[in-house]
Amino acid sequence: MKKCSWCGREYPDDVSTCVVDQQSLVSVASPAPEQASGSGKAEIDEPATVQSFLVLFARYVLAMVVSYFVSYAVFFGGLYFLMWAGMVGFVLLLIASGFSGVFVGALCLPQSGRRFGSVVMLVFGLAYYIYFRDKLSENRE
């Protein structure tokens, strides 16, 4: 970048005299380091791009899937517990599987989204639990 030695007006490098006063221009260091290293920095500064949105979306889907399978694994892994713990065991098992599911699922999320993601997964988990419970009671009738 160049700058007029008299009026201070700024010009690109390929201009040699000031259009206002015909004074010679002097080169000045570019005041914008983000122009030089811009390509790398811009990607970080634009979280709203389609690509990063897709990555975020994929992580949420992954968190949901992982959460679902982990809670199932814990649930079925602990079913033997029901034989001697009865209804209390069933409730403990639901809590343990729900907690493990949400916890492991949240680990898949970026740190900034974990709190929100945990709440979303809890809501989904509760909704699924209610659906699951209604299905069980339908089968009993």
Interface positions with Zn ion (CB under 5 A): 4, 6-7, 9, 18, 20-21, 23
| CA–centroid distance for 99 within its chain | 21
Contact present, 66 and 105 (Cβ < 8 Å): yes
Nearer to Zn ion, 11 or 90 (CB): 11
Nearer to Zn ion, 9 or 114 (CB): 9
CB of 24 to Zn ion, least distance (A): 9
Nearer to Zn ion, 3 or 59 (CB): 3
CB of 5 to Zn ion, least distance (A): 8
29-36: Cβ within 8 A, 24+ apart: 29/1, 30/1, 31/1
